[in-house]
Chains A and B, each alone.
Chain A
Amino acid sequence: MATSTVEPSTYIAPPPAEETYYEAHEPTILGGGFILAVFAVWELYPAIFGLSKGMKLFFATPSDIIAALYSLLILNEKLPMVGTIWQHFNASTGTFLFGLGLSIIVALPLGVVLGRSQTVDAMFDPFITAFNATPRLVFLPIVLIWFGVGFWTVIAIVFLGAVFPLLINTYAGVKNADKLLINVVRSFGANEWQINKLVVLPNSLPFIIAGLRLAIGRAILGVVVAEFFGGTEFGLGVIMVQASQSYRVDILFAVLIIFMVVSLLITAAVKQIENRLSRWRPAKIKTF
């Protein structure tokens, strides 16, 4: 590229062009418009082109799905399977929170200890590396044998999914903690517990939050997978399996949308927490 040599004194900036409404909102308009278009085609396709009898069985239009959502969520109607959607939703939420909570309780302290103590690190490292490299579903049959069909198997699957990203990120964050700052608080008399509280944890917070995000995704995945196979009576995953077996595509999509919305809400909540906890950081590195 040629370097332009415009003298600052003679250079006159062109007047800023008036942004049109479209230019200012282009991404929103394009994104929103495209979604609407997709929904329109989806809705109108069967009406215009018709569907074969076989296809009809596997198809649900957006209006079918909205109707299903309305009757399930608002009217709280009984499902063709067992219970209402809210009962299943609550069961899944409970599993999610319990499994994730358990993984946080285990991963945070363990990550700090591993990061701070070279002895413990050396002892546990091979296990963690091996477990983390193994796809979590491989554990499912073992977990099923050990915990039997039901609640604890589901919890174990969620826990196994969530604990490693959190553990590994906490560990990385702790390892990364600023040596100078640790020495500073030590010099003012801090013990190991205070060092962790005053320096190590705040210092590794960006890592922990990133790990938490991953862990949440894995936990949701764990809830669904475990409910597919785990043999509990209630849970959104259970409905999905049953809806798919009875060709209730509208219910299938309704549950899928519930998952999407919940995941988006959780992501937004984590972002909020992160912003609140990182007020002290210069704005430009706030988005970790």
Chain B
Amino acid sequence: MSSYISAENINLTFRPKNREAVTALSEFNIDIEQGQFVSIVGPSGCGKSTFLNVLLGLIPPNTGVMSVNGRTVTGPGTDRAMVFQEFGLLPWRTVAHNVELGLELQGVAKGPRRETCQGFIKMVGLTGFENHYPHELSGGMKQRVGLARALASDPDVLLMDEPFAALDAQTRDIMQAELLRIWHEAKKTVLFVTHQIEEAVYLSDHVIVMTKRPGRTKKLVPIDLPRPRDYEMRVSPRFNELKLEIWNELKDELSVGGDEDSGHA
């Protein structure tokens, strides 16, 4: 196998106590080459976050093999870091101290740690807020702290779970550009979950469309737009063709309220 990130026939069923079991992933397969920017779109509740958690090593799959760079994932590792959908900031730590979490756990000394993190705090536009606590920040600011924290730990694989969902449109554009720059410079592999088709097309090399739950890969859409991407590309005919192609794949999976009566194991 030459692929860098690979999921082979992953099955995962949640069995919460005193509640019905939920199959989140069923025969889920994915192959991603090193250095690619891949977005995942799919209906709400189809298992996108669950898959990222499997890849991160937080949830072991029931069956199937998840591997990164030829090694089977058996737990978390410093080669992967996630920007969490619900931010996941430690409320008793300041912004700076939150961003330092990864490096701190890697055993990096305080001085260099501070310095590195300062750069990322600046990058996400939070200079001056280093000593604020999370409860003093807006949703968008919290999300940017989560982004800085993941980037600061310098992973090879960056997992991003709707990282820009809480941002206003302008900040989102800026963060997208920054993300592309970092991805290009640092040669990271990025898995990016979003509900915005336009965002997925703009950023990605490939877009994966997932089925409704239990989630499987429905279609892999290669994005053949040239790089570097720029803002004007968003109005090009090819861009809109790709958007439409993805939308057509996705719309069959969207059924309002249909999430509840399918996929129970």
Contact = CB atoms under 8 A, between A and B. Distances in A.
Interface of A: 180-181, 183-190, 194, 198-199, 202, 279-282
B86 interface: yes
Contacts of A189: 76-78, 102, 105-106
B58 A188 contact: no
Contacts of B86: 180
Identify whether the interface residues of B are mostly helix, strand, loop, or mixed: loop
A199 B90 contact: yes
Interface string B50-90: 00010011100000000000000000111011101010101
A150 to B, nearest CB: 44
Given A180-B84, A281-B91, A185 B133 contact: no
B88 A181 contact: yes
A185 B91 CA distance: 13
Which interface class (under 10, 10 to 19, 20 to 34, 35 or more) fits B?
20 to 34
Contacts of A190: 105
B135 interface: yes
Contacts of B76: 186-189
Given A186-B76, A189-B78, A281 B88 contact: no
Contacts of B92: 202, 280-281
A187 B106 contact: no
B140 to A, nearest CB: 18
Given A183-B53, A198-B101, A281-B135, 10 more contacts: A180-B86, A180-B88, A185-B90, A185-B101, A186-B58, A187-B80, A188-B81, A188-B105, A189-B102, A280-B93
- Which 6 pairs show the lowest CB-CB distances between chains A and B? A184-B88, A280-B92, A188-B102, A189-B105, A280-B133, A202-B92
B178 to A, nearest CB: 21
B153 interface: yes
Contacts of A181: 88, 90
A200 to B, nearest CB: 12
B135 A187 contact: no
